[in-house]
Amino acid sequence: MNVLGLHFGLLKRSNWLLVLAMLALVVIGVLFIRSACAARQEEVIRGLFRLQILWAAVGLGVFVLISLFDYRRLSDGVWLYYVSALVLLVMVLVVGNEVYGGRRWLNFFGMNLQPSELGKLSLLLAVAWFLSRPGVDPGRGRTVGVVLALTAVPLVLILKEPDLGTAIICVPIVFAMLYTGGASLKHFGMMGLVGGLVLTLLFGTILVPRWMGMDVAGQKAVFTRVTRLKEYQWKRLVVFVDPASDRKGAGYNSWQSAIAVGSGGLTGKGYMRGTQSSLGYLPRTVASTDFIFAVIAEEVGFAGGAVVLGLYAVIIACGMLAAARARDKLGRLICTGVTAMAFAHVFVNIAMTIGAMPVTGIPLPLVSYGGSFMLCTMASLGLLQSVYCRRI
Amino acid sequence: MNTRNDHRDSVRISVLTLLMMAGLLFLAGALWITQISRGDHYAHNARRQSLRVVRVPADRGRIVDRNGIRLADNTPSFSLCVFVEEFRKPGRWSFTAEAVARQLRDVGAVIGRPVEVSAVDFTNHIRSRLPLPLVAWTNLDARVMARFAENQWRFRGMDIVATPSRTYPLLTRASHVLGYVGKSDLTAVAKKEFDYLLPDLEGRSGLEHRYDAELAGVAGRRILKVDASGFMSGVSQEMDPVPGRDLVLTLDARIQKMAEAALEGERGAAVVIDPRSGEVLAMASSPSFDPNVFVMGVSRELWKTLNADDGDLPLLNRSISAVYPPGSLFKPVVAIAGLENNVWDPDALVACPGYYELGSFRIRCWNASGHGTISLRKAIEQSCNCYFCTLGQKIGYEPIFHMAEAFGLGRRTGIELDGELGGLLPSAAWKKAQVSEAWRDGDTCNASIGQGFLGVTPLQMAVLCATIANGGHLYRPRLVRGVRAPEAPALGALLPELVRELNWSARTLAVVRGGMHDVVNAPGGTGKNARLEHVVVAAKTGTAEVGRKGEGHKHVWMMAFAPFDAPRIAVAMVVEEGVSGGSTVGPKVGRLLDGIFSEAEAHG
- Given a cut of 70, is residue A1 above it in pLDDT? no
Are residues B16 and A180 in contact, defined by beta-carbon separation less than 8 angstroms? yes
Is-contact B484 B245, C-beta < 8 A? Answer: yes
User: Are B561 and B582 contained in the same domain?
Assistant: yes
Q: What is the per-residue pLDDT across B450-505, written as a single tens digit (0 to 9) for each?
A: 998 999 999 999 999 999 999 999 999 999 999 998 777 777 778 899 999 999 99
B16 → chain A, closest CA residue? A176
Alpha helices in B372-498 (DSSP H): 376-382, 385-395, 397-406, 428-435, 441-448, 458-469
Tell me the C-alpha distance between B353 and A164, whole Å.
Answer: 118
The answer to whether position A32 is within a domain reads yes
Angstrom distance (rounded) from CA A228 to CA A64: 43
Q: How many domains does chain A have?
A: 1
- Rounded distance between C-alpha atoms, residue A55 and residue A370, angstroms: 8
Q: In this complex, is the C-beta atom of A153 within 8 Å of any C-beta atom belonging to chain B?
A: no
Whether residues B156 and B180 fall in one domain: no
pLDDT at B188: 63
Residues B333, B422, single domain; the answer is: yes
Three-class DSSP category at B197: strand
Task: Answer yes or no: do B70 and B96 share one domain.
Answer: no
Peptide bond preceding A243 in cis form (omega within 30 of 0): no
- Give chain A's length: 392
CA distance B63 to chain A (A): 45
Among all residues of chain B, which has the CA nearest to that of A312?
Answer: B24
State whether B231 and B340 are in the same domain: no
Contact B13 A324 (CB under 8 A): yes
Residue A367 backbone dihedrals phi, psi, to 5 degrees: -110, -50
- Residues in chain A with CB shorter than 8 Å from the CB of B32 are 302
A7 occurs within a structural domain: no
What long-range pairs does A83-90 form, CB within 8 A, spacing at least 24? Answer: A84/A122, A85/A115, A85/A118, A85/A119, A85/A121, A85/A122, A85/A123, A85/A154, A86/A119, A86/A153, A86/A154, A86/A157, A88/A113, A88/A115, A88/A118, A88/A119, A89/A115, A89/A116, A89/A119, A89/A154, A89/A157, A89/A158, A90/A157
pLDDT in tens, A148-174: 999 999 999 998 888 888 888 999 999
What CATH number did the domain enclosing B541 receive?
A: 3.40.710.10
Check whether residue B156 and residue B182 sit in a common domain.
no
* Residues A364, A341 contacting (CB under 8 angstroms): no
Find out whether B336 and B512 touch, Cβ atoms under 8 Å. yes
Number of domains chain B is built from: 3
Is residue B376 within 8 Å of residue B387, measured between CB atoms? yes
DSSP assignment, residue B233? E
Q: How far apart are CA A256 and CA A369, in angstroms?
A: 19
| B183 and B146 share one domain | no
From B114, B141, B163, give the residue that closes a domain: B163
Does pLDDT of B186 surpass 80?
no
| Same domain (yes/no): B331, B396 | yes
CA distance B227 to A95: 37
Q: What band does A12 get if pLDDT is binned at 50, 70 and 90?
A: confident
Length of chain B: 604
Query: Containing domain of residue A384, as a range?
Result: 12-389
Do B126 and B229 have their domain in common? no
* Residue A245 DSSP class: G
The answer to whether residues B236 and B264 belong to one domain is: no
Amino acid at B331: K
The strand order across the sheet containing B63-64 reads: B166-167, B70-74, B63-64, B246-249, B480-484
To 10 degrees, what angle do helices A141-160 and A78-95 make?
30
pLDDT digits (tens, 9 = 90+) for A328-375: 999 999 999 999 999 999 999 999 999 888 888 899 999 999 988 999
The mean pLDDT of chain A is: 89
Stretch 27-86 of chain A: residues touching chain B, C-beta under 8 Å: 41
Do B64 and B85 lie in one domain? The reply is no
CB B246 within 8 A of CB B64: yes
Identity of the residue in A279, A305, A343 whose CB atom sits nearest the CB atom of B20 = A343
* Chain A residues close to B229, C-beta within 8 Å: 280
Domain with B197 in it: 50-76+168-245
Return d(Cα B577, Cα A332) in angstroms, integer: 116
Instruction: With respect to residue B17, please indicate whether it lies within any of the assigned structural domains.
Output: no
Closest residue in A to B230 (Cα) is: A279
Averaged pLDDT for residues A248-256: 83
State how far the Cα of A245 lies from the Cα of A231, in Å rounded to an integer: 16
CB pairs under 8 A between A and B: 127
Among chain B, residues having any CB pair with chain A shorter than 8 Å are 5, 8-10, 12-17, 20-21, 23-24, 27-28, 30-32, 34-36, 38-39, 41-43, 45-46, 49-50, 90, 225-229, 233
Helices (H), B279-384: 292-295, 300-306, 318-321, 331-340, 376-382
Can you tell me whether residue B287 is helix, strand or coil? coil
Which ipTM score applies to this complex?
Answer: 0.93
Q: What is the CATH number of the domain that holds B221?
A: 3.90.1310.10
Shortest alpha-carbon distance between residue B31 and chain A (Å): 7
Domain assignment present for A116: yes
Nearest chain B residue to A175 by CA distance is: B16
Per-residue pLDDT at B1 exceeds 70? no
Name the H helices within B194-272: 206-210, 212-216, 253-262
Residue of B nearest to A311 (CA): B24
Comparing B162 with B431, the larger pLDDT belongs to B431
Higher-confidence residue of B195 and A262: namely: A262
Taking the mean position of all CA atoms in its chain, how far away is CA B537? 31
CA A224 to chain B, closest CA, distance in angstroms equals 31
Instruction: For residue A297, give the nearest of B24, B35, B229 by CB distance.
Output: B35
A1 falls within a domain: no
Question: Domain boundary residue among B163, B188, B216?
Answer: B163
What does the H/E/C string look like for B488-557? CCCCCCCCCCEEEECCCCHHHHHHHHHHHHHHHHCCCCCCHHHCCCCCCCEEEEEEEEECCCCCCEEEEE
pLDDT tier at A201, thresholds 50, 70, 90 = confident
Is B477 contained in some domain?
yes
Residue B110 lies in a domain: yes
Å between A12 CA and nearest CA of chain B? 25
- The residue type found at B73 is D
Which residues are within 8 A (CB) of A133 and not within 5 positions of it... i.e. 6 or more apart?
none
Cβ–Cβ gap A262/B225 under 8 Å: no
Return residues 240-269 of A near B (CB < 8 Å).
258-266
| CB atoms A323 and B39 under 8 Å | no
Q: Confirm whether B14 is domain-assigned.
A: no
**Residues A21, A385: Cα–Cα separation, whole Å:** 13
The more confident residue out of A99 and A273 is: A273
Q: Among the three residues B245, B280, B309, which one is the final residue of a domain in this structure?
A: B245
B152 and B236 assigned to the same domain? no
Rounded-to-integer distance, Cα B350 and Cα A24, Å: 118
Residue B19 included in any domain: no
B158-163: strand order across its sheet: B134-137, B77-82, B158-163
